[in-house]
Amino acid sequence: MVLARTKNSQPETNNQRMKKHFETEAIRNQTERTQFSEHSTPLYLTSSFIFEDAEEMRASFAEEKERNLYSRFTNPNTTEFVNKIVAMEGAQAGYAFATGMSAIFSTFAALLNAGDHVVSCRSVFGSTHSMFTKFLPKWNINTSYFKVDEVDLVEGLITENTKILYIETPTNPAVDILDLELLGKIAKKHNLIYIVDNCFATPYVQQPIKFGADLVIHSATKLIDGQGRVLGGVTVGSKELMREIYLFARNTGPAMSPFNAWVLSKSLETLAIRVEKHSKNAKKVAKFLEANENVELVKYPFLKSHPQYKVAKKQMKLGGNVVAFEIKGGIEAGIKFLDNIKMCSLSANLGDTRTIVTHPSSTTHGRLSEEDRLEVGITNGLVRISVGLENINDIIADIEQALES
Ligand SMILES: Cc1ncc(COP(=O)(O)O)c(C=O)c1O
């Protein structure tokens, strides 16, 4: 049954579209409608696509025709999700991965050759650190680290084999901030590929490409999903670099599932409004903690006391949803605080509607030595709060009673 289409039944195609505001891109950047004139994009749960004849199949595989062939390469749901992130980040192209880590690993594996060298900030997500120290060295790819407060040492770490400059900002879990623009200038001067993990900020808060990044990576598992349901990752950036990453991914298979892409594309429709509220709640939590006598230090990008407050203000639109604080009394106090929490969740994830509390020294980073933890800003009493969307009074009441108990 083919249904008649009304004049305005199709969303604008990419070629017709004028650049729109962030929220509009998130909602209106949509896959072409089917003959059923559905309003909301359906789920294309199909592993492959069919061809009219041998010639169409040949031309499609030869890339003379742009169309879906097989969902490891592209699928309407993953394409819609990627198109939105590309528009939000001001990129040219992108590819969606099964997880944030598969986006990070595939990006490095696609771009590096044996013997290449990476310069990275030491404060990176734990599995990214494992990739640098345990896995890339198998192919003779080594990484030199600088600490968050050692940006002046970066140029000294660059060798003739250095190909990539990599950072995360804000960092996980200590919420440190790196100067995107300054590092972008260094990368440009030395002809390095500048890659930024923008997971904590989201494209609503910060767009690293504006500051010189060549590629931006997200774990979509966090605020992009925002409701703790699915895993996902995405890399976006220039057409040339994304072509190499696409060819690597198309052949090695780390693709995002159409179902997850469908969920994540719907989530993007509310990203702006969610991040606004997350950031508002997080700032209130940060201010409450700053005034509490059981708390030694609070780290939140938009608190004036944050060591990189000025840089945060320059490159971020909001402070984001993560607050880190130092509880008086070290490891024991951190564990006790977690045990006293009643409403908030004890979980390793972040960026959920539900407020999540973690104590890195006794959990996620418990196997590191104290010295290694301190290198990345994880003091014994550091607590990370991923502030959710519950009523702020309930969030603060739970934190307050846990601090006081
Ligand atoms: C900053 C950052 N990058 C990457 C990842 C990895 O993402 P995923 O768990 O989706 O593989 C995480 C996960 O917590 C993260 O926090």
**Domain end call among 205, 239, 268:** 268
Closest atom of ligand 1 relative to the 220 alpha carbon: 10
pLDDT tens, residue by residue, 318-335: 999 999 999 999 889 999
Residues 54-85: tens digit of each pLDDT: 999 999 999 998 899 999 999 999 999 999 99
Same domain, 248 and 309: no
Gap between the Cα atoms of 275 and 22, Å rounded? 13
By CB atoms closer than 10 A (0-12, 13-18, 19+), residue 152 is exposed
325 and 244 co-located in one domain: no
Q: Tell me the per-residue pLDDT of 102-154, one tens digit each, with 9 for 90 and over.
A: 999 999 999 999 999 999 999 999 999 999 999 999 999 999 999 999 999 99
Burial class for 403, CB neighbours closer than 10 Å (0-12, 13-18, 19+): buried
Ligand 1 nearest-atom number relative to CA 233: 10
93 alpha carbon – ligand 1 mean position (Å) = 21
Residues 317 and 380 in one domain: yes
Same domain, 121 and 234: yes
Q: What is the pLDDT of residue 4?
A: 38
Helix or strand or coil: residue 165?
A: strand
Q: How confident is the prediction for the chain on average, in pLDDT? A: 94
* Listed residues 233, 268, 303: the one ending a domain: 268
**Cβ(281)–Cβ(396) below 8 Å:** no
Do 210 and 276 lie in one domain? The reply is no
Same domain, 165 and 248: yes
pLDDT at 218 exceeding the cut of 50? yes
SS3 233: strand
* DSSP alpha helix (H) spans, 29-162: 54-61, 76-89, 100-111, 126-130, 154-157
Q: Is residue 132 in a domain? A: yes
The CATH number given to whatever domain includes residue 29 is 3.40.640.10
Q: Which residues of 357-391 are buried (b: 16+ CB within 10 A; e: fewer)?
A: bbbbbeebbeebeeeebeebbbbbbbbbbbbbbee
In the chain, the amino acid numbered 193 is I
Residue 43: name the closest of 260, 259, 269 by CA.
Answer: 259
pLDDT at residue 6, rounded to an integer: 42
Alpha carbon of 311 to ligand 1 centroid (Å): 23
Mutate which of 132, 219, 224, 356 to test ligand 1's pocket (most atoms within 8 Å of Cβ)? 219
Q: Contact 117/162 with Cβ under 8 angstroms?
A: yes
Ligand 1, CB within 6 Å, residue ranges: 99-101, 125, 168, 172, 197, 199-200, 219, 221, 231, 233
Residue count (the chain): 405
Which residue range is the domain that position 395 belongs to?
Answer: 271-404
3-state helix, strand, coil in the chain (%, to 5): 40, 15, 45
Q: What is the DSSP string of 307-373?
A: TTHHHHHHH-SS--SEEEEEETTHHHHHHHHHHH-SSSEE-S--SSSS-EEE-GGGTTTTTS-HHHH
Residue nearest to atom 15 of ligand 1 (CA): 125
**Phi, psi for residue 55 in degrees, rounded to 5:** -65, -40
Give the pLDDT score at 209: 98
Alpha carbon of 34 to ligand 1 centroid (Å): 35
- Residue 9: pLDDT band (50, 70, 90) is low
Query: Do 55 and 160 share a structural domain?
Result: yes
Indicate if 45 and 151 belong to the same structural domain.
Answer: yes
- In the three-class reduction of DSSP (H, G, I as helix; E, B as strand; rest coil), residue 109 is classed as helix
Say if residue 276 is in the same domain as residue 249.
no
Tell me the CA–centroid distance for residue 65 and ligand 1, in Å. 35
Q: Which spans in 216-300 are helix H? A: 239-252, 258-268, 271-290
Of 268, 300, 324, which one is at a domain's C-terminal end?
Answer: 268
Asked if the structure places residue 16 within a domain, the reply is no
The 10 Å Cβ neighbour count of residue 347 is 13
Domain count, the chain: 2
- Same domain assignment for residues 124 and 171: yes
- Bond preceding residue 208 cis, omega within 30 of 0: no
Pocket probe for ligand 1: among 121, 127, 132, 235, the residue whose CB has the most ligand atoms within 8 Å is 127
Locus of tokens 């230090």: 297
Strands in 162-168's sheet, in edge-to-edge order, are 93-97, 233-237, 215-219, 193-197, 162-168, 117-121, 142-146
Q: Does 77 lie in the same domain as 207?
A: yes
Contact 54/237 with Cβ under 8 angstroms?
A: no
Same domain, 35 and 148: yes
CATH number of the domain enclosing 345: 3.90.1150.10
Contact 104, 233 (CB under 8 A): yes
pLDDT of 361 reads 87
Indicate whether 13 belongs to any domain.
Answer: no
**pLDDT value, residue 366:** 79
